Structure 1
Amino acid sequence: MKFALRWHVLLLAALVGTSVLATTGAFAADSQKPATQATQLAQRPGHVGIASANTLATEAGFEVLAKGGNAFDAAIAVASTLSVVEPESSGIGGGFMATVHVASTDRNIFIDARETASAAVNPKDYLNPDGTPNRDTALKGPLSAGIPGEPAGLAWLAKHYGKLPLTASLAPAIRTARDGFKPDSRLLGAIQNEQKNLARWPASASVYLPGGKPPADGEIFLNPDQARTLELLAQFGDSGFYSGETAQKLVDAVRAAGGNWTLKDLSSYRVKERTPITVDYRGYKIITAPPPSSGGVAIAEIFNILSGFDMGQMDQVHRVHYVIEAMRRAFRDHNDYLGDPDFVKMPLDMLLSPYYADGLRQTILPDKATPSSMLAPTNGQDPGMHTTHFSIIDADGNMVSITLTVNYLFGSTFVAQGTGVLLNDEMDDFALVPNKPNVYGLLGSKANAPEPGKRMLSSMSPSIVIGPDRTAVIGSPGGSTIITQVLLGILAFIDGGDAHQVVAHKRFHHQFMPDTVMVEPDTFDAATTGALTRMGYTFKNRDPWGFMNVVIWDRRTNKLDAASDPRRSNGLGKVQ
């Protein structure tokens, strides 16, 4: 019956044709018209824009630029400072993915500093006796932690693209960890939320629950052990983390608490440079993340589907309808095909093909939602809102779009004794039990099953968008919603939005399963919601959303515009 129904959908779509449209948000009627080409476009900005989720991190980037650094040195400063001041979202115990543009060579590069599974990984460690997923070992404690990639990634940036030594770029983070800072409300709230889990591990409690309780508002927060760890990284490069004093402390702490890391796991870690995914959409070139991120593939697939629709001929309801249906199909493929490219052969040529997108487009009915059960039966949960992102454009036109994470809130909640390093819980991003949802509700197949040294699939989607006369560096945290937030942000940029309009843009999300459209409150008016409901959509309000950080370069006026998501009070987008 389902087979026949799919062909019925195909036939109806073919009969009604495909000259219809989709995109997002404000949906300006002329949003898909290419911008007018200026007679002369600037070749370099001559000034700098940084947008991150924390004021101290943004200022750390500018401090390093003032020392003669470039965008890559500034990225090291911002990332390492976030490790100290925003540990609930990222840190040197986690990993990152970055899409970068090197101005001197006009090259776009993807830097993969994603975590890896240890050599002794055993899927049975993540199962209950009845074969169901063990959420505790997957999310809390040392078994949930992959081998960190961020320290190696920062050292890689310094060695291959920066102008300054690591000692200079890491100096702001080392000072902040050693001398202390006043936590913002989000960090204080996160500690309150995870107090019970942090208290399970003595070193975690020592750092985040001084005196047995969360720090008070206005209290100075110190992490001298992390300052020491960063000093060793600064002095010796990646060997200062992956061997010697720090490595031994990490392995000893992990194994004492029931984990399985070895010194060889750490010394074997390698950063990977990969070719970004590039997709052209209505005169805009979108440069984004390849696997082991699923984000770029999904974004490219969605844009390829939408490219066959004419936005100017559609009302708001149908524009939203087609965007949701494109999201639904991209996430369906996300779940089935994607994994670590060093371990899994993926049909990327098919998934990125405009002909494949054309076939998917034919399955979308013009006035009716496609139940996900028609595509495949699965289950899912509510996506999380963790991770962090920052964007940089420097005076020479170097660009860094970088998304960093420890996965869930405070990662594993496990601090390795004597290091100050909070470890990630990225093992949950593997398909530990095929076709069972992870904490973000995402499903996976054997392509994303854990294996020694393998990188778990990610939704991180750091992107650079080059239009006829404007360029954007964009990304966001948000678990599985990263993909759709970045998609909607890019569409808002194409619509002509400035940095502040892009980061403030209202958001919605569909990830195939659960078959629900998650919506930021007040995204749609009552009439739009009612019409979409009659088409078969189910809506669920969720909050918070964010926190997107964007820098835009207008090459006509040679001005930079930087903005941090208004959904977070402590972010800072700054041009100097």
Structure 2
Amino acid sequence: MNFSARCFLLLALVLSPAAWSAEATAALATRPDGAVIASGHELATKAGLEILAQGGNAFDAAVAVSSTLAVVEPISSGLGGGGFFLLHDARTGKDVMLDARETAPESATAAQFLDRNGELDRDRSVNGPWSAGIPGLPAALAQLASQHGKLPLKASLAPAIRVARDGFPVYARMAAGYASRREVMERYPGTREVYLRNGKPIAEGDILRQPELAHTLQLLAEKGFDGFYRGETARKLLKGVKQAGGRWSADELAGYTVKTREPITFNYRDWKITTASPPSSGGIALASMLQILQGWDLKSLDEAHRTHLVVEAMRRAYRDRTFFLGDPDFVHIPQEVLTSLDYAKGLRSTIHPEKATPSDLLSGQPTPLEDDETTHFSIIDAEGNRVGGTQTVNLLYGSGLIPAGTGVLLNNEMDDFALKPGTPNAFGVMGYAANAPQKGKRMLSSMTPTFMENADKVIVIGTPGGSRIITMVLLGILGYDDGLSAQQVAALPRYHHQWLPDEISAETGAFSADVVKQLQAMGHRIDLPGDSASGGRGSSHVWGNLQTVEWDRRSNTLSGGSDPRNPVGSAEVQFNQPAN
């Protein structure tokens, strides 16, 4: 179903007589009249719907969607990466977050990433075996099925195995991403075997078949955790990492565990927000930003002053992110303070309503180009269960390394550690001791799967985008609070501030010329792509790949929003079948 047809379907759903009748009764539905899935690729959305049709729940569908994205979006995620899965169990009313973030191997100390002059070795931190943490995604899929799903793992992985075996058409973003990473990708025999055809790289329209990845998925389906972290696949992973010059151990693979963590919850106006907890920085940053902004009536402000206040909230949250956040199993995080209303009030008092606050730059390095590394999906099922899943291999095609015989593209998440304190990573953000690498430690992340609930609505929202993930989710929440639909939220213009560098970055067309002038008059520096008048360097024209779903309990309608920036994404509603 193409984008226009999906929009028509969702519009028809909202405007149907049944919806108006339900709204007129003002009765709140206790269960949705169907299910809705939004993801970054149509094949993944359809895989989830297929599993729901077989009697699975949202958690089974999440296994199908996640694993299929791991096949069709190697630029963004995969079995060699990790992620966070925010879950709501409708039966118990309980929310949990599965932390499947990658972990640092013992060999990957900070010293291993410095050159002979003591500077960060950027090639080692983002390319090849040293850049890769121990993967977490396969363990999360096994745990989702065994502890939360209705169907066996083998059933929920079947669509991904089929797509890996039979192939799918290479799309433009995937081909372009390979071209930008070709030199690194073709260093490794296992990677060349997957992505080269008669010596030529994949091109748009090619059918990419991945039989070795299908076999790896099949072993996971049959043996669960042990099918990836022990046995045949583990031996191939260890051999491939060693041959490429890295060092992993069998004990590190077999010892990987998914952490079940309590999500962060707070209120913004009449919304209850449930979101990711550390080692994600997103939830704490969202709580800080939204509770700062709660002190103003944003809807009453003109665009320039509203943007100014939102940017100042972003600036303060990202400053705290730099110094305080890391893996909670290794460092103390003052979470109660950082998420408190009193702390937000204190930060709010430092914001001048007409002037930008200088960030006291420690680094003049710009925020680099951010492609759509990472991916997100959102699900609500007919029982009211919901899943927000954000998963990643970090940068485009991760480390570039596929250990021969596995089809598994390894992540380059080690770059998300503070490998050299005070030195920015590939996303321009930096950290200090709280996010330094250590054996078994999980690197700080920006992934922010989030639930929103008020008296009438239930929403799942999330996006890729590196350090910009948090601010995109923030703008999405503010959009929903303004009364926008799911698709309107997915299409919102985007802007971002991350404390350092001290500038607002924005998509093409995000601001009018008049708003730019007003912001500059307040003291803001603005990076607008291709706009020399604003001082912009043209770092990126559009960002992210936001996927969101909404259940309106008053009309008992479901809708989804799939980012129009991504032509292969999809949001689809599956209606309950009437009883015979």
Determine the C-alpha separation between the residues in 1 that align with 2:503 and 2:330.
32
One of 371, 382, 385 as aligned partner of 2:367: 382
Long gaps (5+) in structure 2: 1-22, 529-539, 575-580
Q: 1:14 maps to what in 2?
A: none
One of 508, 519, 523 as aligned partner of 1:521: 508
Give the TM-score, by structure 1 length.
0.92
Determine the C-alpha separation between the residues in 1 that align with 2:24 and 2:224.
45
Determine the C-alpha separation between the residues in 1 that align with 2:502 and 2:496.
10
Determine the C-alpha separation between the residues in 1 that align with 2:246 and 2:149.
35
Give the TM-score, by structure 2 length.
0.91
Determine the C-alpha separation between the residues in 1 that align with 2:469 and 2:513.
26
Q: 2:556 maps to what in 1?
A: 558
Q: CA deviation at 1:255?
A: 1.1
Q: CA deviation at 1:216?
A: 3.1
AA of the residue aligned to 2:328: P
Answer yes or no: is the 8 Å Cα contact 1:381–1:440 preserved in 2: no
The reply on whether 1:117 has 2:104 as its aligned counterpart is: yes
Q: 1:544 maps to what in 2?
A: 542
Determine the C-alpha separation between the residues in 2 that align with 1:438 and 1:488.
24
Q: 2:267 maps to what in 1?
A: 280
Q: 1:570 maps to what in 2?
A: 568
AA of the residue aligned to 1:155: A
The reply on whether 1:296 has 2:283 as its aligned counterpart is: yes
Determine the C-alpha separation between the residues in 1 that align with 2:120 and 2:362.
19
One of 456, 462, 486 as aligned partner of 2:473: 486
Determine the C-alpha separation between the residues in 1 that align with 2:91 and 2:499.
41
Match of 1:421, SS state, is: coil
Q: 1:469 maps to what in 2?
A: 456
AA of the residue aligned to 2:292: I
The reply on whether 1:92 has 2:90 as its aligned counterpart is: no
Answer yes or no: is the 8 Å Cα contact 2:508–2:542 preserved in 1: no
Per mean C-alpha deviation after superposition, the further-off stretch among 131-140 and 216-225 is: 216-225
Q: CA deviation at 1:100?
A: 1.2
Q: 1:503 maps to what in 2?
A: 490
Q: 2:320 maps to what in 1?
A: 333
Determine the C-alpha separation between the residues in 2 that align with 1:480 and 1:543.
16
AA of the residue aligned to 2:521: R
AA of the residue aligned to 1:63: E
AA of the residue aligned to 1:382: T
Q: 2:533 maps to what in 1?
A: none
Q: CA deviation at 1:210?
A: 2.2
Determine the C-alpha separation between the residues in 2 that align with 1:551 and 1:93.
27
Match of 1:118, SS state, is: coil
Determine the C-alpha separation between the residues in 1 that align with 2:453 and 2:408.
37
Give the root-mean-square deviation of aligned CA atoms: 1.3
Q: CA deviation at 1:234?
A: 0.2
One of 195, 211, 219 as aligned partner of 2:198: 211
Could you say if the C-alpha distance between residues 256 and 38 of structure 1 is closer, same or farther in structure 2, counting changes exceeding 3 Å?
Answer: farther
One of 425, 430, 437 as aligned partner of 1:438: 425
Q: CA deviation at 1:46?
A: 2.5
Cα deviation, 1:469-503, whole Å, max 9, x if unaligned, reads 11110000000000000000011011111111000
Could you say if the C-alpha distance between residues 38 and 356 of structure 1 is closer, same or farther in structure 2, counting changes exceeding 3 Å?
Answer: farther
Match of 1:480, SS state, is: helix
Answer yes or no: is the 8 Å Cα contact 2:299–2:482 preserved in 1: no
Match of 2:207, SS state, is: coil
Determine the C-alpha separation between the residues in 2 that align with 1:290 and 1:85.
28
Determine the C-alpha separation between the residues in 2 that align with 1:356 and 1:118.
36
Q: CA deviation at 1:310?
A: 2.4
Match of 1:48, SS state, is: strand
Answer yes or no: is the 8 Å Cα contact 2:104–2:133 preserved in 1: yes
Determine the C-alpha separation between the residues in 2 that align with 1:113 and 1:529.
40
Determine the C-alpha separation between the residues in 2 that align with 1:519 and 1:229.
41
Determine the C-alpha separation between the residues in 1 that align with 2:413 and 2:51.
30
Q: CA deviation at 1:543?
A: 1.7
Determine the C-alpha separation between the residues in 2 that align with 1:193 and 1:355.
46
Answer yes or no: is the 8 Å Cα contact 1:335–1:442 preserved in 2: yes
AA of the residue aligned to 1:421: V
